[in-house]
Structure 1
């Protein structure tokens, strides 16, 4: 195994873009252990020089050269960061020149465009979608007339985090419905869901994984017993098959993958924020 490499995601904005791209890159390298830190709002040369000391100290501590994944748009700030001696990876550099040639337009070095409040209408749509997800979480409200989609599953199968992800990143009004013991006694959809059949997507999960999750929430309860988990998952899957509800297992699937599959399956096209 190679050693541990310190990695810094540095930006003059939130750093989310640098961290997202950087994480995707580093997951391709499995023989090196990475320890990372996101440093946002590095928007002056003075601030960059302060950060340099942090980068150098990390390199000395680990006995290796640090890696900086940089999304700063200010050339002077980026140049200052380069004095750290770290491997500098500019996330925009490979794309800017080809785009400028193709579009016949020089880039505008605006800070915070990727994750700032640039479009107030879009921003408020995200806020409204988050409020919708929270107010329609776990069957709290069953008025689904304004819902873009409804996730259906047994308790702790991943409904809530997926709904919140869809709201935050796509402005999707996502509700979720927890299948109760009474619901699972039948092979048919609960009556309150039937009018919204075209909005439904079922989530399932391996019973052993479900048991682990429930055990953390309610240790040694009937709710967390493996037999309970097996019975509920089997009944839910039987219902989904009988009703023709599209289904995905969340056992080894990330929230990002779940969200993408749900949107694709239901034919919902929305730009990611």
Structure 2
């Protein structure tokens, strides 16, 4: 059981959710505002993707990241900034009988330096590293993160003194995570996000969660989440397993059946759950001390 926990809010993601929930933020101003509202509701960390304001689709545009970060840092609300580095590892094959050439409308594959361009320029306190490849949902899309790519990205993030949040979608990815630690590419304290319930990764049942928790590197600080209606139960399960909480519109867009959520509402509900269990919610200053983060101005 974790009696002193922090909450991460995954603010927007890149999924096709904007037509289902009008509260999913799209523009830099909307994303920054939603992140700050989540922080005021109790989130210590804001995990941030950006979207193309014209289409609502996920983007790697450095200018969009820069504007979101500028607005958050200029505010009087403190929150730890966690930028995704997962974009740029998307492969969509051409079909069952003709996998090549790739479907270039969905494929977005770039090198390690380009995937980290916004991290290099903006120097967030945390950035994510997806620790492996997997069939991601239906169709011919593969989330692609080779060992060589991850080593290069981990080495660069380490040189920038940014804390990597290792996103783990299945048990084999924990094996690679431990290998990167042995190679000295991930510094202590190791920060891990257990990502559950995403086809076709680890299912979101308690036994699978505990199997992954029991395979964590010694001393790792971890959070756990699931998507959809299991987001709220996992707020409690993560605490019981000794971890921290992640909620937000990236993973779940509903407050109740047919009721669109806001990020602040999802965080408020997680705070109520934690406090009803006797858990103290950590603020940004506590998290910086716990994770040994370098605050950026």
Using structure 1 for the length normalisation, give the TM-score: 0.28
Q: Which has the higher helix share?
A: 1
Bigger relative contact order, structure 1 or 2 (CA pairs below 8 A, ≥6 apart): 2
Using structure 2 for the length normalisation, give the TM-score: 0.26
Q: Which has the higher strand share?
A: 2
